Structure formats: C-alpha cells, structure tokens
Amino acid sequence: MANFGYSLTKSSRIDLNNRNIEKWNRLVELEPDVLKCMACGSCTASCTAGKFTKTSLRSAILYLQNGQEKEALEYIQSCLLCGKCFMVCPRAINTRHLLLSISKIYSNR
C-alpha cells in the first residue's frame, strides 16, 4: 500500500463490520423517523442547552449509526426536552419522542 504521509490513529478507526446493530434496529423499528434525519444541524443550532452543554441530537444519531453508544449518550444527557428542535426540523421528526426512545433503548438501567 502506498504511503501518503499520514495515517489514521487506532482511536479514530471504527470497524463498521463488527459493530452490534441490534439496538439500532430496535430504535429504527420503534422510531422510523430516525432514518429521515439528514443531519442538517437545525436541531443543534436551535438548542438552548447546546449553548452551555455538549448537546446535539444530530451528533448522537451519527454516533449511534456508527455503534458508538457511550459517545451518543453524552450528547443527549443534557437535553431539556423543550421541543425547539422539533419546531425547526425540516423533516418534522418528533425529536422529543426520539430522544426518549434513545434513552429507553440505550440506557444501561
């Protein structure tokens, strides 16, 4: 393989073939709207909590798709469930219900 002068560090590699997608499939079954997300960032831009904390539904969904549950839960734990993101979502995703479903499926309780 050719050396182009850079490489990925081990910590940034995600092996998508070895991830467990069982929980993701349960989320999609419960909330099919999660597949409608186009990662536009409207939810993150409108988020009141996002100005003060690490809150981003868009990032959480992307992490969940990549099998990175711990990182995804860090992005939604500070959500206030105010509903601003639902009002600005161009795909009309019920973000509050989606967040509650993510918490229900992915929490270790």
Helical (H) or strand (E) element with 37: none
**20 occurs within a structural domain:** no
Give the model's pLDDT for residue 74.
92
pLDDT of residue 96: 93
In a domain, 55, yes or no: yes
Report which residue type is found at 106.
Y
Residue 51 belongs to a domain: yes
Tally of domains within the chain: 1
Mean pLDDT value across the chain: 87
Please report whether residue 71 resides in a domain. yes
Q: What is the pTM of this model?
A: 0.80
Look at residue 9 and tell me if it is in a domain: no
Domain-located, residue 101: yes
Provide the domain limits for residue 81: 39-109
29 in a domain, yes or no?
no
Closest of 61, 73, 70, 56 to residue 35, by C-alpha? 61
For 28-64, write each residue's pLDDT tens digit: 999 999 999 999 999 999 998 888 888 999 999 999 9
Please give the C-alpha separations between residue 48 and each of 33, 79, 98, in angstroms, as whole numbers: 23, 9, 18
Q: How many residues does the chain have?
A: 109
Within-domain flag for 100: yes
